[in-house]
Structure 1
């Protein structure tokens, strides 16, 4: 059973790192100044759909693995792997913070777009 818990926690942590990386990439893309808005809009629209789908798949996979972990294993088994469990908690906090930051950046962009249209 311990092997199974370790594998589950490791997979969850790996997916969490992938999510963090993708969100950081999106944040960096949003912060980059645009030079040719029309060309960039076409590229961004197709790229955003791919990234959006990828993010959703990673989030769903992560959620499924977390649910399975807690359904299939006793809390004592999970907490026995405290290093991996703490890493999962830490990555979760990073995901939450980065997601909130990303949400704030998007909200600012929407406000700026509305101001330009007026």
Structure 2
């Protein structure tokens, strides 16, 4: 986990990123490599509905090539910890599901063995 950087205030001083004086945002960033960009995009789509919910933890998803990045941001460490656990469970489920569903569609045709 890392703390989000402070944005400069109006007079150039560092100001808290959000939540008023003394409040700092905590972040958890997970990068997940996939075999192909298509599979990373499929995983992002599976996980997007939960990212759109508003609450004490913000969830952002992005794909760059074949890498899916998940960023969780919160002020409360306990809430962030619960969201990290939930996110890891969701990632695990998505990957297991894709291993069962995606290979039949993206498998390379095998060459017939001549004899």
TM interval, shorter chain, is 0.3 to 0.5
TM-score (normalised: structure 1): 0.33
Choose 1 or 2 for highest CA Rg.
2
Structure with more relative contact order (C-alpha pairs < 8 Å, separation 6 or more): 1
Q: Which has the higher strand share?
A: 2
Greater fraction of residues in helix: 1
Question: With structure 2 as the length reference, what TM-score do the two structures score?
Answer: 0.33
